Amino acid sequence: MVTAHLAARAMPYHRDISQAFTTGPPGPAWLPYVLAFTVLVYLIVASLLQYTYADLVGTLAIVEERQDSNLVFDGQVNVSDEKLPIEPEAITVKPTYITSSLRKTTRRLREVGGRRAHFRGIGLQFIYQFIAMVIKGFIQANLLRRNEVSHHIAGFVASLMVAGPMMAWTHYVISEPSQKSWYGHLCDLTFKDWKKIMPVTALWAFVQQLQLYLPTALYNSAGPYVPKADPVLIAAAILLNIVLFGLVMVPALVTLTRVQASLLPENIQTIVTFDRSFDGKVVPEILGGTGVLGMLDAWKTFDWASRRRLLGVYAKVFSLQFALAFCFVPLYTAEILLARQIWG
């Protein structure tokens, strides 16, 4: 969000420099490539940070569940290789989570998947996002009028079309590495699975488009006497985006991910531990149930400790992205000023 605002403020400088490339006096031939390379490096690093810590670690944090905190020891317990008799009683042990720390989670990923485990599944995510982008562009260009509302309608429909690959990605990244690739998880999906996840995917897609639309609508609602660069207007749009993310988008994402995880086959081992029955809410079809976690149960079984832990993950990701932008903006600003000085 901060980066988007800074980029918007820099657009006049981009136009000046673009005109100077064609109409101004000749300058160093390497300077445009330096500007483009700087932006490219920033986008790559920011995208990898987002994928590893927000998408990958965030998904694991949504799935990981609290272990029993009351452990009963009957008889003897080993402490420092000595037998210490204790009375049979419940000993309270504070539960630990792998996803309570970014460093702990990435260490766990390296242990089970090697050095490239930070980016496992990135190929599948790129593919289904590219497919969604193509579908969205086709719908908007051929079936709807080009306006702000049609843009979000097309995005909603495109998300529904890639519901299956999205679930295959979730199954792949929460599973321990095996001979089954992400393509194998994708091929395992059946039409019945698509039907089970379509309602929750629709909910998530609607909330996603709502989060994108409302801050933009607020920003564009300024009257003719309010400049678009008004800091109050920008702050209000950013604040609304943050509120919508925390109060609406996070619950929708948690619900979607946990419903997807409830369809993971029993024979597949996972990176983090979670109750496959989700506190008995998932009833197998052979016993007369649906075999999938309900949307309301998906959120209810995600306790407050897990919600705080997930929000902590997102807060750390925001801090990392802000620090990256803080390093990038001065460098890019210096390059812009240099270009303006050369081309006048």
Q: In this predicted model, what pLDDT tens digit does every residue of 117-145 receive, in sequence order?
A: 899 999 999 999 999 999 999 988 887 77
Q: By the 8 A CB rule, do 254 and 299 touch?
A: yes
* Residue 325, pLDDT above cutoff 90: yes
Query: What is the C-alpha separation between 39 and 180, in angstroms, rounded?
Result: 36
Query: 127, 121, 126, 128: which is closest to 173 by C-alpha?
Result: 121
pLDDT of residue 78: 45
* Residue 316, pLDDT above cutoff 90: yes
* Residue 86, pLDDT above cutoff 60: no
Confidence of residue 191 (pLDDT cuts 50, 70, 90): confident
Least confident among 90-99, 181-190, 298-307: 90-99
Query: Which amino acid appears at position 77 of this protein?
Result: V
* Residue 70, pLDDT above cutoff 50: no
Averaged pLDDT, 92-113 = 84
Query: What is the C-alpha separation between 40 and 281, in angstroms, rounded?
Result: 46
pLDDT of residue 290: 84
Confidence of residue 158 (pLDDT cuts 50, 70, 90): very high
pLDDT of residue 243: 94
* Residue 211, pLDDT above cutoff 50: yes
* Residue 314, pLDDT above cutoff 90: yes
pLDDT of residue 71: 41
* Residue 186, pLDDT above cutoff 90: no
Query: What is the C-alpha separation between 111 and 312, in angstroms, rounded?
Result: 23
Q: By the 8 A CB rule, do 35 and 335 touch?
A: yes
pLDDT of residue 17: 46
Q: In this predicted model, what pLDDT tens digit does every residue of 255-279 receive, in sequence order?
A: 999 999 999 988 888 999 888 888 8
State the chain's mean pLDDT as an integer: 81
DSSP state string for 88-123:
SEEEE-----GGGSHHHHHHHHHHHH-GGGGGTTHH
Share of the chain above pLDDT 90, in %: 48
Please give the distance of CA 287 from its chain centroid, rounded to a whole number: 35
Query: What is the C-alpha separation between 91 and 71, in angstroms, rounded?
Result: 6
Q: In this predicted model, what pLDDT tens digit does every residue of 13-35 receive, in sequence order?
A: 444 444 544 454 555 667 778 88
* Residue 282, pLDDT above cutoff 70: yes
pLDDT of residue 220: 80
Q: In this predicted model, what pLDDT tens digit does every residue of 330-341 receive, in sequence order?
A: 888 888 887 777
Query: What is the C-alpha separation between 58 and 303, in angstroms, rounded?
Result: 15
